[in-house]
Amino acid sequence: MGVMDGKVVLVTGAARGVGKAVALEMARAGAAVVVNDLGVSLKGDEGGDTQPCEDVVNEIKAMGGRAVANFGSVASWDDAHHMVQAALDNFGRIDAVVNNAGNLRDVLFHKMTEDDFDAVIGVHLKGSFNVSRAAAPHFKQQMSGSYVHMASTSGLIGNFGQANYSAAKLGIVALSKSIALDMQRFNVRSNAVAPFAWTRMVSSIPTDTPEQQKRVEGLKKLVPEKVAALCVALSADASKGVSGQIFGSRNNEIYLFSQPRPLRTAHTADGWTPETIIERVFPQFENDFYPLHRSGDVFTWDPV
């Protein structure tokens, strides 16, 4: 008996990388899977190849599982509802959503265009909202359901050239927490996962310097299948007490990330002025200021 026996799961962006690994692991755990993928380029603006998505469906069926392909765009409200309806039409219900679909438009902030920003926000953040919102009425009616949203340490910590992606991913963390709060009364859970895996999404990282080359070699050791197990566990009924959390998965390591809480406080009976804030507050807080770290500055050790 798998932990997802009898369940129906929608996985977006499931033709490759982490999404594919999640879809396959869900099937191994007993779930029927709606395998969604638009089949476009990494930037999200070229192609439309449906074959990789169909290949995942065929792989699931070959192992004795149940699956159906969907080629809609998470950035479309209507397409998102059609994805959920595909689960209902083919399998009679929906029990979990894994918001994995993504794109990249990496460019330094001062060179980023409006289209670069809107395209990434539209897929990652708006797409996660669209699909989650489409499933919400069904989760509410059946008084159960689970969301897993893909975040990133680019948003939690920071990275060069990813203002659009980082903003979207940190927005997804807030979206996940809001869903967890709003739908707790219906026994619906929502969690975020920051995955570490060598996929098409990270293969565009530059390798112009020895330091960059070393980092990429380390990233190539990170396999998406390791992320999939966590996503399945979070979707299982046995994890009903886990909601509103931020996890990370890096090969054989699983992290629980902190969430912002007050760190220091300063007060005065006279009230603050700009001058007294500069003179007193900033120097008092300075030792606790966070440096301008990137993800690679924090995760410096080799994968386990």
Q: Residue 273 domain-assigned?
A: no
Q: Which residues of 1-11 are buried (b: 16+ CB within 10 A; e: fewer)?
A: ebbbeebbbbb
With contact defined as beta carbons under 8 Å apart, do 221 and 251 qualify?
yes
Q: Residue 42 domain-assigned?
A: yes
- List, for residues 161-206, the tens digit of each pLDDT value: 999 999 999 999 999 999 999 999 999 999 999 999 865 555 555 5
Domain count, the chain: 1
Residue type, 217: E
Residue 156 belongs to domain with CATH number: 3.40.50.720
**Domain encompassing residue 253:** 8-259
The partner residues of 145 in beta bridges, in order of sequence, read 188
Q: Residue 116 domain-assigned?
A: yes
pLDDT at 300 over 60: yes
- Predicted pLDDT at 301: 85
- Predicted pLDDT at 205: 57
Lowest mean pLDDT among 16-20, 108-112, 207-211: 207-211
Split at pLDDT 50, 70, 90, the class of 302 is confident
Lowest mean pLDDT among 22-36, 189-203, 230-244: 189-203
Q: Residue 121 domain-assigned?
A: yes
Q: Residue 287 domain-assigned?
A: no
With contact defined as beta carbons under 8 Å apart, do 73 and 131 qualify?
no
C-alpha 8/C-alpha 71 separation (Å) is: 18
C-alpha 190/C-alpha 146 separation (Å) is: 6
C-alpha 170/C-alpha 192 separation (Å) is: 10
- Predicted pLDDT at 206: 56
Q: Residue 131 domain-assigned?
A: yes
Q: Residue 281 domain-assigned?
A: no
**Catalytic annotation, residues:** 165
C-alpha 128/C-alpha 148 separation (Å) is: 10
- List, for residues 72-102, the tens digit of each pLDDT value: 999 999 999 999 999 999 999 999 999 999 9
